[in-house]
Amino acid sequence: MALLEVSQLDVRFALRQGEVRALRDVSFTLDRGERLGIVGESGAGKSVAAFSLLNLISRPGFIAGGRIVFDGQTLNTLSERKLRKVRGNRISMIFQDPMMTLNPVLSIGEQMVECLKAHRRISSKAARAIALDKLRQVQIPSPEKRLDQYPHELSGGMRQRIIIAIALLLDPDIIIADEPTTALDVTIQAEIMALLLDLCEQHNVGLILITHDLGVVSQVTQRMLVMYAGRVIEQGPTREIINDPQHPYTQGLLNALPQMATPGEKLNQIRGSMPSLAKLPSGCAFHPRCDFMTRQSGEPRAACIEQVPGFVGTGSCRVACHMVAEMLEDRRLKEETP
């Protein structure tokens, strides 16, 4: 059994104008020490997925259904008190913007020690020693000095290193990193990512990496999920998806990488934009933007507009797309009738 099993996760936001479904039917697993990437445009539900794992979605959001099983415990039905023992201890998080994540009025040492003290019976002195050790691991220059400094005295890159150190404080099983490098300077993004990858490998920590940087996903993760409008639309081994994406949306994302464009030409893009979760298109939510919705004969495929696509397997990947399903079906029929 996998370390973390998420099945049919359903997250909704009760807004004044009605319920908005931020996540539907999201299922995935994570093994010990495995690294999973979750990609998608803004608004696809990546962050909501990350926060709902530890039940950290704030009102009016709530988990309406599904199960999150971590090491035998069902997290979404756990009492707040028991859940608190998992948070920061066995599953820790790295937030997007290091400038906003640390409390501006508490010293770095305080913010590290309080985390240790929340989960272990430990003296302040011992906690400081552990904090110092973790600061060394994230290669912060003169770590002794940092404990007494305040967040505003440190650069963004240093702050994110500290947040990685805090994430590692209690030797967690899983780190959930929500776009850990997006807010950073491009020159240090790679540094921070390499550090995170290195430490996860060293300590055999599972990583759920949320990002829209496909380059990072392909370098760091073993498996990936592609999300669109609150659903998973493609999942499987990262290498396979990057090399041979099946879903038109995934293809579009990969095509949109600047590396894919001919120099001097316009960059490729997926036309249109992510629909609002409150007004999702019928059927496959991607169909208004999809280039493959029309058959070669010119008429649109009715299923795309009317039916939500289910998953079909292609090799070790699973894709939710009518077009792919149809292709597979055609291939199967051809093989059956030689």
Going through the chain in order, the beta strands assigned E by DSSP cover 4-15, 18-30, 35-39, 61-70, 73-74, 91-94, 174-178, 206-210, 223-228, 231-237, 311-314, 317-320
From 90-98, 198-206, 229-237, 284-292, span contacting another protein (CB under 8 A): 90-98
Q: Give min distance, CB of 160 to another protein, in A.
A: 12
- Contact flag: residue 296 with another protein (CB under 8 A): no
Choice between 51 and 292, CB closer to another protein:
51
Q: How far apart are the first and last CA of the chain?
A: 41
Choice between 54 and 319, CB closer to another protein:
54
Picking from 60, 64, 70, 54, the residue whose alpha carbon sits closest to that of residue 23 is 64
Q: Which of 15, 56, 257, 278 binds another protein (CB under 8 A)?
A: 56
Q: Using the 8-state DSSP alphabet, how is residue 103 labeled?
A: -
Picking from 122, 137, 8, 16, the residue whose alpha carbon sits closest to that of residue 63 is 8
- CB-based burial label for 22 (10 Å; 0-12, 13-18, 19+): buried
Choice between 51 and 286, CB closer to another protein:
51
- CB-based burial label for 191 (10 Å; 0-12, 13-18, 19+): middle
Q: Give min distance, CB of 54 to another protein, in A.
A: 6
Neighbours of 317 (CB within 10 A): 22
Choice between 152 and 295, CB closer to another protein:
152
Question: Rule CB under 8 A: which of 145-184 touch another protein?
Answer: 150, 152-153, 166
Interface characters, 115-134, with another protein (x: CB under 8 A): x--xx---------------
* Whole-number Cα distances in Å, 147 to 110, 130, 159: 8, 11, 12
Structure tokens belonging to residue 323: 């077009």
Q: Give min distance, CB of 118 to another protein, in A.
A: 5
What is the full DSSP assignment across 221-258? -SEEEEEETTEEEEEEEHHHHHHS--SHHHHHHHHTSG
- Contact flag: residue 114 with another protein (CB under 8 A): yes
From 95-103, 242-250, 284-292, 304-312, span contacting another protein (CB under 8 A): 95-103
Q: Give min distance, CB of 233 to another protein, in A.
A: 27
- Contact flag: residue 67 with another protein (CB under 8 A): no
Q: Which of 16, 17, 58, 265 binds another protein (CB under 8 A)?
A: 58
Choice between 100 and 129, CB closer to another protein:
100
Q: Give min distance, CB of 81 to another protein, in A.
A: 9
Q: Give min distance, CB of 50 to another protein, in A.
A: 10
- Contact flag: residue 95 with another protein (CB under 8 A): yes
Structure tokens belonging to residue 69: 């099983």
Q: Give min distance, CB of 175 to another protein, in A.
A: 11
From 10-18, 69-77, 89-97, 223-231, span contacting another protein (CB under 8 A): 89-97
Q: Which of 40, 61, 88, 109 binds another protein (CB under 8 A)?
A: 88
Instruction: Kindly list the residues in this chain that would bind another protein in the complex (CB under 8 A).
Output: 54, 56, 58, 80, 84-89, 92-93, 95, 97, 100-107, 114-115, 118-119, 150, 152-153, 166
